[in-house]
Amino acid sequence: MNGRRPQSEEEKSGDIRRARHRALHILERCDRTEQELRDKLEMNYRTEAVEDAIAYVKRYHYLDDMRYAVNYLNSRGRVKSRRQVEQELLYKKGISREVLEEARQEADPQDEREQIRRWMEKKQIHPDTADQNELRKFYLFLMRRGFRSEDILSELRVSAS
């Protein structure tokens, strides 16, 4: 592989042992998804050692994509729209759609309208005094963050009343 000489059994077991220790060290500092851990390990270890290390940490439940997804939905869901958090899990964190579906069922429900109200407070948007340009910019700001149009419009109307 990669122009290297074949490894002896002793070298392979040392590589596997080092990959396991590295995986534990990475997970000790911060919870990761399987894909994130795999990406980090693949920088320094052969496929065989990476697969062994991942199986090893999974066996002891140090690596659990379902737990990670539920925790991520609960923590990030307080400040971001559910859609945005789910996109991050799928495309940045490497969580499968199946795991995401299960995690949705276990995660705490999020009140996106409450999040919109917090954004209104933070950005000091008052629909009854804001001009159309400010409201349009705020609407687009929230849309880019994945909030649903009907939720945004509903909150802007309620506040304006």
pLDDT tens digits, residue range 9-45? 555 678 999 999 999 999 999 999 999 999 999 999 9
At 8, the pLDDT band (50, 70, 90 cuts) reads low
Give CA–CA dist 70/34, Å, rounded: 14
Least Cα distance to 57 among 32, 92, 39, 91 occurs for 32
Give CA–CA dist 6/123, Å, rounded: 61
H or E element in which residue 23 lies: helix 9-29
pLDDT of residue 1: 44
Angle between helices 112-122 and 132-144 (to 10 degrees): 130
Mention the CATH class of domain 9-59.
mainly alpha
Please say whether the dihedral angle defined by the alpha carbons of residues 131, 133, 136 and 138, taken in this order, is positive or negative.
negative
The domain ranges of the chain are: 9-59, 65-106, 112-160
Q: What percent of the chain has pLDDT over 70?
A: 90
Beta-carbon contacts of residue 68 (< 8 Å; ≥ 6 apart):
31, 32, 33, 93, 95
